[in-house]
């Protein structure tokens, strides 16, 4: 059985219309994982896609009892922000891929909770899991261009500026 959740009434109505031809999909109205966790439904894997990194982070944090072992996450933007969150919060990346749709690149990961904490600082800034993708060089080039455009707006004493500088240093060698 597949369960799909949607938070808003309009979104839920669209979900019901979309899934009406798929008897194996049960649409549920509610915020993220809450409907699934409320009913204590056994879940092998959950897909969280089509939203920003902070929304995905909040949904992952709702599973406090760790009832779901595997997630597939795909942010609409904020790929590097979500990636750092995952690595810094004991999530292991089991598999990853990049896809291109209508000229935009999207990253997705299959993740599981990891008993290990911490990550090698080199890998915090370098998305090695995407290296085998045909889209990897483009991903890095686009990220470097983004960092270059935005670094000028940050205060040189801010943590964001320091983090982006480190990220730029780790990514620079990829496009040469």
Average pLDDT, the chain: 87
Residue 56 neighbours by CB distance under 10 Å: 24
Judge whether residue 45 has pLDDT over 90: no
- pLDDT the model gives residue 16: 92
Residue 134: in which H helix or E strand, if any?
A: none
- pLDDT band at residue 118 under the 50/70/90 scheme: low
* pLDDT tens digits, one per residue of 4-29: 888 899 988 999 998 899 888 888 89
113: three-class secondary structure by DSSP: strand
Judge whether residue 1 has pLDDT over 80: no
Residue 67 neighbours by CB distance under 10 Å: 14
* Full set of structural domains in the chain with CATH: 31-175 (3.40.50)
- The whole model's pTM is what? 0.81
Cβ-based neighbours of 92, under 8 Å, separated by 6 or more: 111, 112, 113, 114, 116
Place of tokens 């990853």: 96
């Amino acid at each position: 059985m597949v369960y799909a959740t949607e938070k808003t009434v309009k979104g839920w109505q669209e979900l019901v219309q979309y899934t009406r031809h798929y008897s194996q999909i049960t649409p549920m109205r509610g915020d993220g994982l809450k409907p699934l966790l409320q009913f204590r439904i056994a879940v092998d894997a959950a897909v969280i896609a089509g939203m920003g990194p902070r929304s995905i982070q909040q949904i992952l944090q709702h599973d406090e009892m760790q009832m779901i072992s595997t997630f597939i996450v795909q942010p609409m933007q904020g790929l590097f922000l979500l990636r750092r969150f995952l690595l810094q919060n004991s999530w292991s990346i089991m598999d990853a891929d990049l896809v291109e749709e209508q000229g935009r690149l999207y990253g997705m990961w299959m993740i599981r909770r990891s008993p290990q904490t911490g990550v090698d600082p080199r890998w915090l800034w370098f998305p090695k899991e995407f290296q085998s993708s045909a889209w990897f060089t483009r991903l890095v080039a686009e990220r470097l261009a983004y960092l270059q455009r935005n670094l000028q707006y940050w205060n040189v004493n801010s943590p964001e500026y320091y983090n982006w500088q480190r990220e730029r240093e780790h990514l620079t060698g990829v496009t040469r």
